[in-house]
Structure 1
Amino acid sequence: MYGYFMPTENFMGIGCLSELGKQAKTLGGTKALLVTGKSRRNSETIVKLLKDSGIDSVIYSDVQPNPTVKNVHDGVDLYKKENCNIIVALGGGSPIDCAKGIGLIATNGGSIKDYEGLDKSKKPMPPFIAVNTTAGTASEMTRFTIITDTDRHVKMAIVDWHVTPNVSFNDPELMISMPAHLTAATGMDALTHAIEAYVSTIATPITDSAAIKAIELISKYLRPAVANGENIEAREKMAYAEFLAGMAFNNASLGNVHAMAHQLAFL
């Protein structure tokens, strides 16, 4: 017997971001904590979409690559201070992972360190929307979040069904500005996700089908996306590919490649 899990609603394709405000309203949001990177790219668009649906927002952008314990708890402090009741994460893996940590602590309390490992939380996050802007990590639809503990020099893996977003968005128009080197790196991350899930000892026919399709799409569209970032077809296909890879490893898990990479990150 095996189960299969992913977010309740997932929006894909050109222009799908226009549904953001409606989805936030449906989730009962009245004031959002918008978690994003230091560049705040596309933040104004998100704020406007929320405002048009009657939802106020406050931006938390003090998220560094490989978000830290401090990043998470600073975000929690702002969430509580501003009386937010919904979280919107905008960006790639780092802002989304940080936002997941914020959501976990907002409802469960304690330190994010308490939740390292498998299914340690008791309560779900507040309503949570993830807007993905890279085609790699699939954090917008998985139960994984990676937070850096700078005291121990460890990247903590938090694997918990409660950190799965309620709604995800993959609009390729948000990915056009991604530089070639980041397009390549995130694309290879997605490929690694698909391969590791496919060879996993707990793979299933469902995860295999997602992994194989992801590999097929990446092999065809990653190079065109790197060569021309404005190739919207390649961007859209890579968005589908990274999502499919996420579907695979979210349920079949990963392997030694990611286990080694997390340790090497501090060298």
Structure 2
Amino acid sequence: MRVGGGAVQELGDVIAEIGARRPLVVTDPFMQKSGTVEVALRALRKSGFETALFAETVPDPTTDSLAGGLEAVRQHEADILIGFGGGSSIDTAKALGLLSKQGGEMRQFKAPKRNTGPSLPVVAVPTTAGSGSEATQFSIISDSETNEKMLCAGPAFLPVAAVVDYELTLSMPARLSADTGVDALTHAIEAYVSRRANAFSDGFALAAITAIGKNLREVYKDGSNREAREAMMLAATQAGIAFSNSSVALVHGMSRPLGAHFHIAHGLANAMLFPAVTEFSIRGAQTRYADCGRALGVASPEDDDAAAAQALVAELHALNQDLDVPTPQSWGIDPDDWQRLTPLMAEQALASGSPANNPLVPDTAEIQALYAKIYA
């Protein structure tokens, strides 16, 4: 990992150290049109690499969206992929790395299958402080035929290197700053309360929670605050390391279907669910949730666990209000569509495996009730 302001200038050194010669940069159309990706391309060309660009990734990447990328890998004879952008670009690069080596369809690699490779190496360069995908062994790809948002996991999806440069986030708009920041907070809290939490992941999770509590509202209010941007970028990576070594839980299990069926941005879907799911889950791990409330700065060491856990729920509600998070209803989702799709979304949430990591494991009826509760 290369971390810090201006670290993207070291991208060529990273590729050379790995021993690759033909990098393909995987990004989205906005990164190309805005010129942001040029900073990476210049660093690579300066180091003498034969570099190509695939700039057709889409938000919440689908199996159909991978076809053009696979062709770009073949045409360039790429020996390494650089995922440049948000989680969608990095997840796309990870998927292309696996498919270009193994072939087949992405649905063959979804959870619970654990994928060990082979795969083309991926270097991740995040431009948002949220997904943590630069530090995880996961890729999220939607099945174009079924709209299922598939969790694909295993060491084959872990980048070989990451360049974490907070200066790439300075131009993020307020809405994106909020949504990605809540995504990172969800990663950290779910990693800490997960049934698979451990001493290694705990340290990263708590550090991320503390940093996000101090800085998320600030980057939403003033995106030019470099100190807050740097803190959020580091926290997003720490949260990624945390949940890659423990796992996410019910919020993520329920948010993926919202993205697949209603095309709600992943972090925003998490934010819609976060307070209600946390309130539901507290009795399964009250002490752990209390620790999160203290780390977030909304409870003191003197508060008992019950009070600290409830302070966490209250803060998540307040955070949604301060970040102008809409409900599914106010976002524009038709109530009939919501009600009609709720049983399917509940089934898909459970099938993803993430709810099984929750402190309180729900059944289908309880997930449907939570979807009903957050709608309005």
TM-score by length of 2: 0.67
Deviations along 1:90-140, one digit per CA (max 9) or x if unpaired, are 001010001100000111121222111145445232222110000000011
Give the CA RMSD over aligned residues.
Answer: 1.2
Deviations along 1:144-196, one digit per CA (max 9) or x if unpaired, are 10001121111010011111001101101100000011001100000011111
**49, 52, 55: which one pairs with 2:49?**
55
Query: Could you tell me the percent identity over the aligned residues?
Result: 38
Higher share in strand: 1
**8, 28, 33: which one pairs with 2:19?**
28
Counterparts of 1:157 and 1:44 in 2: how far apart (Å)? 31
Is it true that 1:260 corresponds to 2:254 in the alignment? yes
Check whether the contact 2:9–2:39 (CA below 8 A) recurs between aligned residues.
no
For 2:335, the equivalent position in structure 1 comes to none
Amino acid at match of 2:98: L
**98, 103, 107: which one pairs with 1:109?**
103
Q: Which runs of 5+ in 2 are unaligned?
A: 263-376
For 2:5, the equivalent position in structure 1 comes to 14
Check whether the contact 2:81–2:121 (CA below 8 A) recurs between aligned residues.
yes
**RCO higher in structure (CA 8 A, sep ≥6):** 1
For 2:152, the equivalent position in structure 1 comes to 158
Distance 1:202 1:121, change over 3 A: closer
Q: How many angstroms does 1:43 deviate by? A: 1.6
* Superposed counterparts of 1:42-191, under 5 Å: 42-191=36-185
Counterparts of 2:252 and 2:115 in 1: how far apart (Å)? 23
Secondary structure of the corresponding residue to residue 162 of structure 2 = strand
Higher share in helix: 2
Q: Which has the larger radius of gyration?
A: 2
Secondary structure of the corresponding residue to residue 150 of structure 1 = coil
Counterparts of 2:258 and 2:102 in 1: how far apart (Å)? 31
Check whether the contact 1:124–1:163 (CA below 8 A) recurs between aligned residues.
no
Amino acid at match of 1:228: D
**219, 235, 251: which one pairs with 2:229?**
235
Give the aligned length.
258
Q: Which runs of 5+ in 1 are unaligned?
A: 1-9
Counterparts of 2:250 and 2:78 in 1: how far apart (Å)? 39
Secondary structure of the corresponding residue to residue 221 of structure 1 = helix
Counterparts of 1:120 and 1:80 in 2: how far apart (Å)? 25
Check whether the contact 1:118–1:160 (CA below 8 A) recurs between aligned residues.
no
Is it true that 1:215 corresponds to 2:209 in the alignment? yes
Counterparts of 1:72 and 1:164 in 2: how far apart (Å)? 18
For 1:6, the equivalent position in structure 2 comes to none
